[in-house]
Chain A
Amino acid sequence: MKTIKGPAIFLAQFAGDEAPFNSLDNITKWAAGLGFKGVQIPSWDARLFDLAKAAESKSYCDDVAATLDKHGLQGD
């Protein structure tokens, strides 16, 4: 049997222009502080993520994973 993973949080409804909701670094630190272990990222929100860059650049993806990892969230 498998244990479901979590808790995680979808960031679409939380991303905003004010800290801590205005960058991937800030918002993942906030989420981790609440006890979340993972984040689901809305690919359209340029404040958090660059979809085109992620599609072409493994190093950008590694940077994203490192940001999450820094706050104790699962990187992949």
Chain B
Amino acid sequence: MTELSTHLQGQLVAVNPAYDALFDQFAAEEVRGNPGERQKWAVNQLMLAAKASRNLGLTEHATFSGALAWPYLYPWPQRPAGLVETAFDELAKRWLPILNAFDAAGVNLCYEIHPGEDLHDGVTFEMFLERVKNHSRCHMLYDPSHYVLQVLDYLDNIDIYHERIKMFHVKDAELNPTGRQGVYGGYQSWVDRAGRFRSLGDGQVDFDGIFSKFAQYDFEGWAVLEWECCLKHPEDGAREGAEFIQSQIIRVTERSFDDFAGAETDDEANKALLGLT
């Protein structure tokens, strides 16, 4: 097993009332229709996941942050002063005990950075990280498909956050804006949106670039296929995905490519080359 996931339960740690009805189906039947009890149930699920991960010998765990501020993503109407800050203060307050439980279990908690969550880009991750006091167990699950669809520089993201990226979903996507729609997608279905998820190799993600960055930064985790495609059959997506990832994995070199022409270290010779003798 690579990791356990609590995406659905993590989502329920923080739900804006606008989404109460739609997210209710993620919860156990006995707490549906009762947001307060549902939240307690979700927190307990995360606590169980920390213990389960420890019992399974796992070192990373995947989840969603949930969201209080997401309905106010676009600043129209004008956002009241302090609204976002209050949302992130509360989000951090809810997650801090969970992060501490994961610390006690020796497991990193990795938030999938994802639209619909308050942690949906680098800036919002930083706003949260600051409020949980740079918690040593607060990390990112990197999925480039969610960055392509919001036109975020997903290679630069690895340069900035590689020390906090502990998990990787290998998922492809494409954004084909037209004169009729762009990032927002015009309320269209997945097939008809300008931005949509695709099977590996069928989208626009530069996986050569991503796998090179992860090799460069000594990423120790797993390359995990997440299949979501609006066109291709899932079993074809899985079969092709295994081959695709295998072909992308860079078996890192054990020596420098120019060692063949290397010379022994000689401090005296170096000083002579520099005119220091």
- What 0/1 readout, one digit per residue, does chain B (3-30) give for beta carbons within 8 Å of chain A? 1111111000000000000000010000
State A68–B227 Cα separation when bound (angstroms).
20
Measured in the bound complex, the distance between the Cα atoms of B218 and A14 in whole Å is 30
User: Of the candidates A7, A40, A64, A75, which one forms a contact with B5 in the assembled complex, judged by CB atoms under 8 Å apart?
Assistant: A40
Q: For chain B, residues 223 to 277, give those with C-beta under 8 angstroms from any C-beta of chain A.
A: 223-228, 234, 238-239, 241-243, 245-246, 249-253
Q: Kindly identify which residue among B9, B48, B216, B249 contacts A3, using a CB–CB cutoff of 8 Å.
A: B249
User: Closest approach, in angstroms, between the C-beta of A49 and any C-beta of chain B?
Assistant: 8
Please give, as numbers and ranges, the residues of chain B lying within 8 Å of A52 by CB-CB distance.
48
Residue of chain A at shortest CB distance from B220: A2
Structural contact, B243 and A61, CB atoms closer than 8 A: no
- Listed residue (B169, B224, B250) with the most chain A CB atoms within 10 angstroms of its CB: B224
Residues of chain B within 8 A (CB-CB) of A12 are 5, 7, 226
Distance (whole angstroms) from the CB of B243 to the closest CB of chain A: 7
In this complex, how many residues of chain A approach chain B with their Cβ under 8 Å: the count is 40
Structural contact, B222 and A42, CB atoms closer than 8 A: no
Q: Mark B207-228, 1 if CB is under 8 A from A, else 0.
A: 0000100111011111111111
Distance between Cα atoms of A73 and B3 in the complex (Å): 13
Q: Is the CB of B215 within 8 A of A55?
A: no
B221 CB to closest chain A CB (Å) equals: 7
Complex contacts, A76 vs chain B, CB 8 Å: 1, 56-58
- Contact at A1–B253, with CB atoms within 8 Å? yes
Residue interface bits A24-55, CB-to-B below 8 A is 1, else 0: 00000001001110111111100001011011
Main secondary structure of the interface of A (DSSP, over half): mixed
Q: Is the interface of B mostly helix, strand, loop or mixed?
A: mixed
A6 surroundings in chain B (CB, below 8 A): 170, 222-224, 245-246, 249
The reply on B45 being an interface residue by CB < 8 A is yes
State which of A5, A35, A42, A64 has its C-beta within 8 Å of the C-beta of B56.
Answer: A64
- Are A55 and B253 closer than 8 Å at their CB atoms? no
Give the residues in chain A near B47, CB-CB below 8 Å: 55
> Does A51 lie within 8 Å of B49, measured CB to CB?
yes
A-B contact pairs, 18 of them (CB 8 A): A3-B251, A3-B252, A4-B249, A5-B221, A5-B223, A8-B222, A8-B224, A10-B226, A14-B234, A34-B239, A39-B1, A39-B2, A40-B3, A54-B48, A61-B52, A61-B56, A61-B57, A74-B1
